[in-house]
Amino acid sequence: MVAKDHLSLQLYTVRGKLEEDFDGTLARIAEIGYTKVEPFGVTAFADRLAEALPKHGLSAPTTHAGLLREDSAPIYAAAKRLGITTVIDPHTDPARWQSADEIKVIADGLNKAAIEAADHGITVGYHNHHFELESKVDGVHALEILVDNLSDAVILEVDTYWAAVGGADVPALLKKFGDRVTAIHVKDGDGTLDNKAQVAVGDGTIAVRDILAAAPQALRVVELDDFSGEILDAVEGSYTFLTGEGAPE
């Protein structure tokens, strides 16, 4: 079973609920049992997060922010204000993952961001989608080429669902990347690009137990990109599965 302090929730999962009732949604997340969340849009939501997180006993060790596309100074300022220690770039243009030279440019950008972030006491990471695995260069997943060109200062948050959709052997990939993987997105579904087919962790076809066992050190971050039912039911179902008997730590 996953310990509560080793579990987080990507707030993009409940973006619609946050628009309706920001404080109430975070209260419900805490009521379910989550003690950590992974915000998005920290520069826009910093004020509300600064008030609501401590109010509901929540912390945010990680966040998603477009370090390679946006002005980094406001991102670092918001992160420091919220006690966030790791800023993860969540997306790059899929077209950039077709050649080793362009992948090395992405790596260079992350390496430079890591140097800048270190001055603020912040670690930089990268989060994948399916295309970094679906694309292969000289027979190797493009994400592996990125990792080969990253400085040791840059961590990975492997989105295990999208890695599986991209065709990777996810447990093997996690073992290869080792301790560089400090967080994983844990999600489930039918293994296709249909976001609406995603379900509560444990209810789909993804080999979640094998994935968790392959990266015991990584923070488990629950996420659903979309869901056909009541999203908070899936958030609670994921928590119940991961913290229950039978789910590996």
Q: What is the pLDDT of residues 103-127, one digit of tens each?
A: 999 999 999 999 999 999 999 999 9
Going from N- to C-terminal start, the domains of the chain cover: 4-243
- Please, are residues 132 and 142 in contact by the beta-carbon 8 Å criterion? yes
Q: At what angle are helices 42-55 and 22-32 packed, to 10 degrees?
A: 50
Per DSSP, 114 falls in state H
User: What would the DSSP string read from start to end of 137-151?
Assistant: ETTEEHHHHHHHTS-
Indicate the class that CATH gives domain 4-243: alpha beta
Give pLDDT tens digits for 202-234.
999 999 999 999 999 999 999 999 999 999 999
Residue 55 scores a pLDDT above 60: yes
What percentage of the chain reaches a pLDDT higher than 70? 98
pLDDT for 247 beyond 90: no
